[in-house]
Amino acid sequence: MLSKVGMWDFDIFLFDRLTNVMVQEDYHSQNPYHNAVHAADVTQAMHCYLKEPKLANFLTPLDIMLGLLAAAAHDVDHPGVNQPFLIKTKHHLASLYQNVSVLENHHWRSTIGMLRESRLLAHLPKEERQDIEQQLGSLILATDINRQNEFLIRLKTHLKNQDLKLEDAPDRHFMLQVLKPKGKSKIALKCADICNPCRLWEMSKQWSERVCEEFYRQGDMEQKFDLEISPLCNQQKDTIPSIQIGFMTYIVEPLFEEWANFTGNTPLSENMLNHLRRNKTKWRSLLHKQHSSSSSRSTDHSVQKTENEEQTLNEGGTL
């Protein structure tokens, strides 16, 4: 099965069932979505992106190592709740990182701790180790969904101006990471992190159900502690189809359309966009069925109520 790891339709769920070695101790298997299987899925997607000719022809071994390592570790020790939840519950991580990219900072610092404990980079000079740690940080911090517009605007500007020169290290790293002081932006890992809607429907649907289950669990906790339920976390109001359609429309589509422009509409980019459009159509169909079913129940309830009222009146009662 590993011979297919470079194919976009690689089934990470089947791989997990066959190997039973995906869940690592630094990811929490009780999380429906943010677990080691998600990390493996993002790493496999990153592997596919790094093979795109527009990038592959210029990447150095260090670029590749950083990309894959960041993908594997980008959500390490994820608590299964989002940043707003950590802030409003006054979690120690929110205080530690001053309410800014709380989870991403935690993932990065946890990754650095693992690297140092493993002594994987111990043979390198101190300056090189520190540089690698900072570059990993720039990759992982860029997965913060709140920075979506920031790097998307930068990517559009570069593509419009046609001023990317991937033979130059700064522009090559532009497609891998964000180093804010130097004005660079990371793209590849961000694409890998939110690529689920671009997978085959059977896999994409599983991911959608998993992430929404994690949202709903958070909403249940918020309700339990009398906190305002966060957006997308109310199981009674936020349906899976509506969440996915919004996510695809406002987050995924704009990013992957620009990625396709960058890569030159390669077979992989076209395949992802085709999956994305088909999946969006399926979610719209399911949403329509939900609305139709809801309207039908509402009509049945109204008819039953009217019949009961008429019966009460016929029996000489009052409303």
Nearest to 136 by CA among 154, 121, 117: 121
In angstroms, the Cα distances linking 1 to 5, 6, 19, 29, 106 are 7, 10, 10, 23, 33
**CA geometry: angle 88, 92, 96, nearest 5 deg:** 105
What burial class does residue 59 get, using C-beta atoms within 10 Å of its C-beta: 0-12 exposed, 13-18 middle, 19+ buried? buried
Task: Give just the sign of the alpha carbon dihedral 148, 154, 160, 163.
Answer: negative
Question: CA-to-CA distance for 78 and 37, rounded, in angstroms?
Answer: 13
Question: CA-to-CA distance for 260 and 65, rounded, in angstroms?
Answer: 23
Q: Which residues of 277-308 are buried (b: 16+ CB within 10 A; e: fewer)?
A: eebbeebeebbeeeeeeeeeeeeeeeeeeeee
Whether 202 and 189 have beta carbons less than 8 Å apart is answered as: no
Mind telling me the catalytic residues? 34
Question: CA-to-CA distance for 215 and 197, rounded, in angstroms?
Answer: 17
Q: Which residues of 132-149 are buried (b: 16+ CB within 10 A; e: fewer)?
A: bbebbbbbbbbbbeebbe
Question: CA-to-CA distance for 34 and 56, rounded, in angstroms?
Answer: 29
Question: CA-to-CA distance for 262 and 51, rounded, in angstroms?
Answer: 14
Site of tokens 């939110």: 194
> Which tokens sit at 268?
């992989």
